[in-house]
Chain A
Amino acid sequence: MLTELFAILFYVATAILVIGVALRVVVYWRTPAPLKIPTMPAPRTQTGMVYRMAREVVLFESLFKSNKWIWIFGWMFHMALFLVFARHFRYFQESAWFWVNIVQPFGKYAGFAMIAGLGGLWARRFIVERIRYISTPSDHLMLLLLLGITVSGMAMTQYFHTDIVALKEFMLGVISFDLSHEMPTDPILVIHLSLVILLMVIFPISKLMHAPGIFFSPTRNQIDDSREKRHVAPWAAEMEK
């Protein structure tokens, strides 16, 4: 029963996540940026722009320039999330890739960094007056959700071990549309997976879209070449005819 329910939920959530994000991204892709608006000084070459974007995505450069506290909590959370996410690959692979094995021990302890990062970001929403002012209920709930996922996952890694072999068989089964392997029924696992499914579902309709969105941000992905190259949106070109 639980096996079928979660299998179906995973299918639905995956479909919502993939299609939902794809639809948003297609809109961003297709909607023109009518004017050249890179935040200057901007790179003058394509390579320079890729480098700028990489610094932004990997190091959170602008945030670093702005506020060391937000940067330290935010960067710590995101990098740890990345490690933990990478570590989870092994539950979806018959035999894990080389780098997935390497990342295991790091991923295991990165959970603590995630909690610290999320905790710091959440504390700021209460302590710092300016950030308290701009926080909406959904901002708090999003942090609660991420903390819930992290804490339930950490609890399983550290204390309440689930039957990880059975879980892996279940997951591999879900991927290959074979529901003959039962999902373990420990409440903490059920909570962990439910929260992950919730996160997948709300991803495309929430501020989590910042992740794909940044790549489309004209202030960061445009090149400083406006005098050398003419840039015209299709609808604007119509005005010249």
Chain B
Amino acid sequence: MARVEIQAPELTEYVEIPVLQEGSMAHSSPFVAKPDHQEVLNFPGELVEDWHDQAIAKMEDLKKTSRSFSLFLDICVHCGSCTDKCHYFLGTADPKNMPVARQELLRSVYRRYFTFAGKFFPNLVGARDLTREILDEWHSYFHQCSECRRCSVFCPYGIDTAEITMAARDILDAVGYGQKYDNEILGKVLKIGNNLGLPGPALKATLEDLEEDLEDETGLPIRMPLDEKGADVLLITPSADFFAEPHIDGLMGYAKVFHQAGISWTMSSYASEGANFGMFIGNYATMKKVAERIRTAALDLGVKRIIVGECGHAWRVAYSFWNTLTGTGHGAAADDKYAQMLQKQLDPRYPAPQHIVEFTYDLMQRGVLNIDKSANDHRTVSFHDSCNVARGSGMGNIERGQFILPREVIKGVVNNYVEMDGSTMYEETLCCGGGGGLLTDDLMELRVKGAMPRMNALKKVFDEEGVDTLAAICAICKSQFSKVLPYYDMPMHMITSVHQLVGDALVFENND
């Protein structure tokens, strides 16, 4: 494929709502999954001959199993509230990237086959027969949504385009027309245990290298334990933490915190992945299968607590879905044998699962950590709320805890902290542009353009307040920012793990 120069949109004082450019992103479509990527997940290898009937049958199935599917497709009134809320629309001007218009790609077909008005008056309500072209359109535009849920914050009925995107991807997978990036990765995690396909021995070696680095830095035998039965804590972290920059410094930060707190912990080679792309493709069974590995590892290792590393969608899945999917949480009914098996092993004094930020915050509150904030004085830090953490999860068992705790942790370890424009933060935070299974090179143009609204807010504090460090608690955000920051004339290395800041500020007495 020819390399085309991607032109990043220009940054302006405020993000302006663009004039519509129909079809401006119609060419953007990710690589199609190959038969072996599909079949591992029990999807047809390639587009089935009776795709039309299979797709309608899948919709019928979704209608029965998920309320949000038919409810959200039924009740939209086209008020337009969401039309200027999607970062991909703002960055590309393609009207089909307006949330309601994206939903409409599926809704029009749903109407035609499942509603009275669509069956008898298709033109009146904009209903369409399902055609081969529509499948292509779905493959394109339902992979221009990062499932970030920003639109759902602004919908007067709470219609969540992420749910529609997930349903559409589920339908595409069911007819053998999946996305390569997501499905290939899911195959790896199900076969090997992580998205990278990093086998146990290689992981072990990597961790040993990191232990050496830590010892060089601190003079202390700070450990990176793997598969240690009887540890108190099982750490589940995105595999990007094992090799990617700046993620890896975050992982070392966790290790330092565990070390200083004196809490025994371990990682698992069987469940060496926090990410769960099953959510991205909207497939419950796949998501459950991926989550099962963590449950199994927790049972095998006999841990009392499960802590999740810095990963946005992983935390949404862990916080909101693990208890549902695999009983990894608390509060299962007494006769719920499946869930009880793990829940009676977990320590009821701690939330399950617990976020690493919750863990560190708690230690800081109790004064367990020895912190020298001035270690970070060379930085001016801002924080990016990751979409899945902000709108898909919680922290600290308090409302808005997912905004409060990370900030408290950061402010507890740095002196110079600057907030970006409030209308781009908290529950209104803008996606990095690479979430929801789109973090792949074949969608680079979309990623660069979709990052524009966030880059706009960042550039402002970068220019005006001297922000040189952007902290995040999401592996995808970190990778995406590293890639797109240079397009907007900001250094790629300014993106940092929150736990790198923590790790840098920890003081180890014996080191002096």
**How distant is the Cα of A215 from the Cα of B512 in the complex, in angstroms?**
61
Q: Which residue on B lies nearest to A234, using beta carbons?
A: B65
Are the CB atoms of A214 and B157 closer together than 8 Å?
Answer: yes
Give B318's nearest chain A residue, CB to CB.
A227
| A87 contacts the other chain (CB 8 A) | no
Query: Which of A130, A213, A236 has most B Cβ within 10 Å?
Result: A130
Given contacts A138-B124, A226-B320, contact A41 B399 (CB under 8 A): yes
Any chain A CB within 8 A of the CB of B460?
A: no
Q: How far is the CB of B59 from chain A (nearest CB, A)?
A: 13
- Chain A proximity of B110: nearest CB distance (Å): 13
Most buried by A among B63, B79, B115, B352: B79
B62-82 vs A, CB cutoff 8 Å, 1 = contact: the mask equals 011111101110111111111
| Chain A positions 135 through 150: 1 when the CB is less than 8 Å from some CB of chain B, otherwise 0 | 1111101000000000
- The answer on a CB contact under 8 Å between B67 and A134 is no
| A22 sits at the interface (CB 8 A) | no
Per-residue contact bits, chain B 119-133, to A (CB 8 Å; 1 contact, 0 not): 001011110000000
- Rounded to whole angstroms, the CA-CA distance of A219 and B150 in the bound complex is 12
Out of B70, B124, B402, B428, name the residue touching A141 (CB < 8 Å).
B124
Q: Write out the residue numbers on chain B whose beta carbons fall within 8 Å of the beta carbon of A121.
A: 79
Q: How far is the CA of A37 from the CA of B338 in the complex (A)?
A: 23
Q: Does A63 lie within 8 Å of B71, measured CB to CB? A: no
Query: Do A70 and B124 contact each other (CB < 8 Å), given the known contacts A62-B158, A210-B157, A233-B65?
Result: no
Q: Is the CB of B285 within 8 A of A239?
A: yes
| Cα-based distance from A34 to B279 in the complex (angstroms) | 13
Is B504 in contact with chain A by the CB < 8 A criterion?
A: no
B351 interface residue per 8 A CB criterion: yes
Interface size on A, residues (CB 8 A): 66
Q: Does A33 sit within 8 A of B, measured CB to CB?
A: yes
Mark each residue of chain A from 31 to 45: 1 if its CB lies under 8 Å from any CB of chain B, else 0.
Answer: 111111101111110
CA distance A228 to B351 in the complex (A): 8
Q: Quick one: which of A37, A137, A138, A230 contacts B329, CB cutoff 8 A?
A: A230
* Contact of A28 with B155 in the complex, beta carbons under 8 Å: no
Instruction: Give, as a whole number of angstroms, the nearest-CB distance from B507 to chain A.
Output: 33
- Bound Cα distance A65, B365 (Å): 34
A128-B76 CB under 8 A given contacts A136-B124, A224-B394:
no
Complex interface: chain A residues within 8 A of B352 (CB) = 227
Min distance, Cβ A140 to any Cβ of chain B, angstroms: 10
Measured CB to CB, the closest approach of chain B to A238, in angstroms, equals 11
- State the CA gap A62–B79 with chains docked (Å): 12
Question: Shortest Cβ distance from B95 into chain A, in angstroms?
Answer: 5
Q: Which of A32, A33, A62, A135 contacts B154 (CB 8 A)?
A: A62
Q: Is there an interface contact between A205 and B116, defined as CB atoms closer than 8 Å?
A: yes
Interface flags for B417-432 (1: CB within 8 Å of A; 0: not) read 0000000000110000
Asked whether B323 lies within 8 Å of A35 as measured between CB atoms, the reply is no
Closest-by-CB residue of A relative to B64 is A31
Q: Which residues of B contact A220 (CB under 8 A)?
A: 157-158
The contact of B76 among A207, A216, A230, A236, by CB within 8 Å, is A207
Max chain B Cβ within 10 angstroms of own Cβ: one of A40, A43, A209: A40
Indicate whether A235 reaches chain B with its CB closer than 8 angstroms.
yes
B323 & A227 in contact (Cβ 8 Å cutoff): yes
In the complex, which residues of chain A have a beta carbon less than 8 angstroms from the beta carbon of B121? 138
Q: Could you tell me which residues of chain B, from 391 to 441, have a CB within 8 Å of some CB in chain A?
A: 391-394, 397-403, 427-428
**Which chain A residues (71-117) contact chain B, with CB distance < 8 Å?**
74
A130 touches B158 (CB 8 A): no
CB A43 to nearest CB in B, in angstroms, measures 7
Q: Known contacts being A65-B154, A217-B157, is A130 close to B83, with CB within 8 Å?
A: yes
Q: Is the CB–CB distance between B80 and A128 below 8 Å?
A: yes
CB distance A40 to B333 under 8 Å? Answer: no
B48 adjacent to chain A (CB < 8 Å): no
The residue in chain A whose Cβ has the minimal distance to the Cβ of B340 is A230
Whether A133 touches B353, Cβ cut-off 8 Å, given contacts A65-B154, A230-B323, is: no
The answer to whether the Cβ of B98 comes within 8 Å of any Cβ in the partner chain is yes
Closest B residue to A131 using CB positions: B80
Q: Is the CB of A230 within 8 A of B327?
A: yes
Cβ contacts A149-169/B at 8 Å (1 or 0 each): 000000000000000000000
Tell me the minimal C-beta distance from B361 to chain A in angstroms. 16
Task: Provide the bound-state CA to CA distance between A62 and B150, in Å.
Answer: 11
Q: How far is it, in angstroms, between the C-alpha of A224 and the C-alpha of B332 when the chains are bound?
A: 16
B257 in the interface, Cβ–Cβ < 8 Å? Answer: no
A226 to B339, CA, bound (A): 14
Residue numbers in A under 8 Å from B454 (CB-CB): none
Who on chain A is nearest to B119 by CB?
A: A205
Q: How far is the CA of A141 from the CA of B121 in the complex (A)?
A: 13
B493 touches A (CB below 8 Å)? no
Q: How far is the CA of A61 from the CA of B17 in the complex (A)?
A: 22
Contact of A40 with B391 at beta-carbon distance under 8 Å, contacts A66-B82, A230-B331 already known: yes
Which residues from chain A contact B403 at a C-beta distance below 8 Å? 41
Task: Determine whether the beta carbon of B125 is less than 8 Å from that of A136.
Answer: yes
Within 8 A of A (CB), among B138-178: 149, 152-160, 163
CA distance A27 to B67 in the complex (A): 8
B74 touches A213 (CB 8 A): yes
Minimal Cβ-Cβ distance residue in B for A220: B158
B489 to chain A, nearest CB (A): 30
Interface residues of A in 182-235 (CB under 8 A from B): 202, 205-207, 209-210, 213-214, 216-220, 224, 226-233, 235
Chain A residue with minimal CB distance to B63? Answer: A31
Task: Note all chain A residues with C-beta closer than 8 A to B79.
Answer: 63, 70, 74, 121
CA distance A36 to B154 in the complex (A): 19
Task: List B28-87 residues whose CB lies under 8 Å from chain A.
Answer: 63-68, 70-72, 74-85
Judging by beta carbons under 8 Å apart, are A36 and B81 in contact? no
Is the beta-carbon distance between B160 and A39 smaller than 8 angstroms?
yes
Measuring CB to CB, which residues of chain A are less than 8 angstroms from any residue of chain B? 24, 27-28, 31-37, 39-44, 48, 56, 60, 62-63, 65-67, 70, 74, 121, 124, 128-131, 133-139, 141, 202, 205-207, 209-210, 213-214, 216-220, 224, 226-233, 235-236, 239-240
Task: List the 10 closest A-B pairs by CB distance, nearest first.
Answer: A66-B154, A219-B158, A213-B75, A220-B158, A131-B80, A136-B126, A31-B67, A130-B83, A210-B75, A217-B158
The 18 listed contacts between A and B (C-beta, < 8 Å) are: A28-B67, A31-B70, A36-B320, A44-B397, A56-B158, A62-B156, A67-B81, A131-B78, A134-B104, A135-B78, A207-B75, A217-B158, A218-B68, A230-B329, A230-B331, A230-B339, A232-B324, A239-B288
New A-B pairs, 7, CB < 8 Å, besides A130-B20, A133-B20: A41-B400, A48-B399, A130-B83, A136-B126, A217-B75, A219-B159, A230-B331
